Structure 1
């Protein structure tokens, strides 16, 4: 059995650390959204890892521009028409490292994988969006009671008045 030299062990350790760090960042966040509602696609980095001027690009993979923030402002000219007026960043949070995207009026076509990428860096996050059908709850109003139930309630209320027992 061959023993590793000290230099080889250091390189091996560095490689293992790099592998662990890359696997931590390679994970994908899974988000569920309801059709017609809003959803937030998370993308947060430590503020000290961001450049002084943050330029962020949100893509729906493989190559659809969802939102572009460059030179301190949104750039709608680079945005795919399917996302116009449906996306926003939390501008007051950008300098804190929060580059999360709010997507409004979710559509079935929005489902898929998204990538948040900070230009001029290696920083990126992936988010998978699943779109669910709206949950429909049927509320019963006082007018939707069956006639038989309505009659029973009336009889219960009238019984003491007319001594019907």
Structure 2
């Protein structure tokens, strides 16, 4: 019984540190649309506030369909096998920025059809948050 009591005390003393790691954190996108031209590269802004490393999180960028990601980072790697083929080879996340809680997506070689709302979702399996950013790709004149 004495061992069980100590074990419970140790576990209980660790709980606040584990449960409050992401307490109060949120994912923030951009409140202003980004405007760019076809062929340009942009960075769709998104970050965790207050700053929290996302290296061990799932980070998912998507548009209308959560299950078909524009970009998926999971298990410490980019998951191009489930990425929307329309975006394959045109997106990137920075590992260094992930360490700082910056989830911004690099999107290259813009096309007019890239216009729309992009959602940035992050989860560690217990906590999750989502932000959004609108992209407007101007048509060619």
TM-score (norm 1): 0.60
TM-score (norm 2): 0.69
User: Equivalents in 2 of 1:74, 1:52: separation in Å?
Assistant: 11
* Counterpart for residue 16 of structure 2: none
Shift of 1:28: 3.9
* Counterpart for residue 123 of structure 1: 129
1:55-80, CA deviations, whole angstroms, 9 ceiling, x for partnerless residues?
A: 10000124441000001110001100
Higher relative contact order (CA 8 A, sep 6+): 2
Q: CA RMSD in A?
A: 2.3
Do residues 112 (structure 1) and 116 (structure 2) align?
yes
Which of the pair has more CA radius of gyration? 1
Aligned pair count?
111
Which stretches in structure 1 are left out of the alignment for 5+ residues? 1-20, 136-165
Gap change, CA 1:92 and 1:61, over 3 Å in 2: same
Gap change, CA 1:133 and 1:41, over 3 Å in 2: same
Which has the larger helix fraction? 1
Which of residues 58, 61, 65 in structure 1 aligns to 2:61? Answer: 58
Which of residues 17, 31, 34 in structure 2 aligns to 1:31? Answer: 34
User: Equivalents in 2 of 1:83, 1:67: separation in Å?
Assistant: 8
